[in-house]
Amino acid sequence: MRILLMGHPNVGKSAVFNRLTGARVTESNYPGTTVDYTKGRVRIEGDSFEIIDVPGAFSLEPKDKAEEVAVKMLEENKEAVAICVIDASKMERGLYLALQVIEKGYPVVIALNMWDVAQDKNIEIDVKELEDILTVPVVPVTAISGEGIRELALRIKEASLVKIEKIIEKAGN
């Protein structure tokens, strides 16, 4: 199984990637482009998975080369699980991409990164409620200190396919 790490630029995606992967991270160039991406392995409860740090993208309607690569990578890995890294203090923007990935039919785990920064800004997110609506695992993470990373990894296996209609229905009530 492959894990794709998706998210906007500057949401600490690489920090999450570094916390999850060990040594032996390889950086390569996506064929035919100038876009680089990194690939590593993560070991969760004895099983080893490949994890790809997908280039930062705001949405899946590509507007630049990096976003094009992100979309292509998603399409090339139909069986992958996606970790959507979201800046917790700007959750709405990040959710946009996460919803798109869910709609495309990928199992998703959401990492609410920079949780400490959100707390500084006195933003409080009801994680339970969010999980309930989205029906995917949502984990608060502070990648820089490593807080929450373990839980994020352990909950990857809980990711499952969700119908967008179901989310709409739940959000409606």
Partner 1 sequence: MLDVEQRWELIDKIAKRTIKFGKYRHTLQDAIAEITVKPLTGIPIAIAVLYGFWAFFVAFARFSTDGFLVKLFDMHWLPWLQEVFPAGKESWLYYIFVGDPLAENCFEAFGMLTSGLFVVIGVVLPAIVAFYLVLIVLEDSGYLPRLAVLIDTVLHKIGLHGYAIVPSILSLGCNVPACTACRILETKKQRFIMRTILAIFIPCGAQLGIMLKVIPETVGWVILYLLAGYFILGFILSRIVPGESPELLLDIPSYQRPTFSNVGRKLWVRTSSFFTTAIPFVLLGVIIINVLHLTGVIDWLATGLGPLLSGWFGVPKETVGALIVAFLRKDLAVAQLSAIEMTKYQMVTSVVLVSIYFPCIATFVMLLKEGGVKGFLGSLAALVATVFLYGGLLHLIWILLGVA
Which is nearer to partner 1, 66 or 153 (by Cβ)?
Answer: 153
Report, in Å, the least distance between residue 66 CB and partner 1.
20
- Shortest distance, CB of residue 34 to partner 1, whole angstroms? 26
Task: Compare residues 1 and 125 and give the one whose CB is closer to partner 1.
Answer: 125
DSSP 89: G
Distances (CA, A) of 37 to 30, 83, 116, 152, 161: 7, 16, 27, 22, 26
Instruction: Report the C-alpha gap between 139 and 69 in whole angstroms.
Output: 26
Applying CB under 8 A, which residues contact partner 1?
18-25, 41-44, 48, 91-92, 95-96, 99-100, 103, 116, 119-120, 122-127, 129-130, 133-134, 144-147, 149-150, 153-154, 164, 167-168, 171-172
